[in-house]
C-alpha cells in the first residue's frame, strides 16, 4: 500500500469521525472503500505483470 493511500484513508477516517450528518458519513465510508478496492486492484495488476515477466511460457 502506498503512503498516499494510507494518508488518504487516515484523512477520510478523521473526517468521518468529525461528521454528524449520516449522508456525509456514508459518502466518506464509500470513499474509503473505493480507496481500498483501488489499492487491491493495483496490487493484483502488479502481481499479474510480475507473473507474466517471470513465466517462460509467456515469453
Distances (CA, A) of 34 to 2, 30, 37, 40, 55: 15, 6, 5, 10, 31
For residues 43-58, average pLDDT? 84
Domain ranges of the chain: 3-58
**pTM, 2 dp:** 0.75
For residues 29-49, average pLDDT? 93
Average pLDDT along the chain? 89
pLDDT tier for residue 9 given thresholds of 50, 70 and 90: very high
Amino acid at each position: 500500500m502506498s503512503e498516499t493511500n494510507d494518508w488518504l484513508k487516515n484523512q477520510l477516517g478523521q473526517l468521518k469521525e468529525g461528521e454528524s450528518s449520516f449522508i456525509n458519513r456514508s459518502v466518506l465510508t464509500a470513499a474509503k472503500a473505493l480507496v481500498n478496492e483501488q489499492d487491491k486492484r493495483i496490487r493484483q495488476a502488479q502481481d499479474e505483470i510480475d507473473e507474466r515477466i517471470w513465466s517462460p511460457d509467456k515469453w
